[in-house]
Amino acid sequence: MGRRPITPSPYLQETNLSDPIEPVGLIVIDKPSGMTSHDVVARVRRMLRMKRVGHGGALDPFATGVLPIAVGRATRILQYVQGSSKTYEVVAHLGEETDSGDIDGVVVASADIEVWPGPDVVGTTLERFVGEIEQVPPALSAIKVHGVPLHRRVRAGEQVVVPSRRVSIYSIDVVQYVPPELQLRVDCSSGTYIRALVRDIGRVLGCYAYCTGLRRTRTGPFTIEQSWTLERLAEHDLCANWRQVMLPMDAAVLHLPAIELGQADADRWYHGRSLSVSIHVPEGGIQRVRVYAPKGKFAGIGEVDLSGGLIPQFVIPAGDAW
């Protein structure tokens, strides 16, 4: 009794009348080209005059688009964002390959093209990359080997062997093809390197390719339509008006089933105690859920086992704003 699966709106939750000591929530930033993801975090830290700020999945400096930023206690929810699928708009330049796979690299291979691959050949080639594939990331990447990013090893003159990884490409659509430019829309799993995908497509086409434009339009539930540019943010006093900008923490986990607790169980939850709930759990596994206290107040993330036991994984104190 007192427990029922629900799907409350994260944007209509009851909050305390008084703000917490510091802002708490998520900001979707439209990252500009030329900045690292850490540069964006540093800029938001200065705007808010606080240190507890993090991002939910790095973008290459030349890339633009969706960069989820978490503020305050919301940084703990980033672990549930970083593994989300992504959508990108991509511009590939055919005919050459660079060492980095993008416009910042040095040309290492080129093709003498008399006739560019036709649309049918391009379409057939792209189909080969849809599904689960083995991908070798660019050597000039932030992947760490023995604790050191690959790009540092390469620039220090080391000969590196880049480990391959399994990634999933859910779809690749041609937006426009006017040789030597090929514009694509790619929906893929976390961990996919679009620079490597473009490189490999160019190799299969027999004409090489590198990435000249990359824009992330979605990360998990966050889209470019929700985003703020840094210029727009600078026009706000975030410390005073953060509620006008930030999304509540549960906006990051809307894909999870939701459970609302009665008051007695909510009290147990806030003390970190396990509960018994009724919700479908996949056979042989566990079900991660978002948990709400009475009146739809987001209370954290839990995991339900096959016996119906709800074990707290991330508990938001009862007095927090969201």
* pTM of structure: 0.86
Residue 16 φ then ψ, to 5°: -70, 150
pLDDT, residue 81, reads 82
- Predicted local confidence at residue 216, as pLDDT: 98
**Residue range 218-275, pLDDT digits in tens:** 999 999 999 999 999 999 888 888 988 999 999 999 889 999 999 999 999 999 888 8
**Domain residue spans in the chain?**
1-9+253-322, 86-219
Residues in the chain with pLDDT values less than 70:
1-21, 140-151, 153-154, 156-157, 319-322
| 148 three-state secondary structure | strand
Please provide the DSSP assignment of 60-90 as one string.
Answer: -TT-EEEEEEEEGGGGGGGGGTTTS-EEEEE
Write out the CATH class of domain 86-219.
alpha beta
Two tokens, residue 189: 């799993």
Decide if 1-9+253-322 and 86-219 have a common fold. Answer: no
Please give the CATH number for the structural domain made up of 1-9+253-322: 2.30.130.10
Spatial distance between the Cα atoms of 92 and 180, rounded to a whole number of angstroms: 8
Residues noted as catalytic: 60
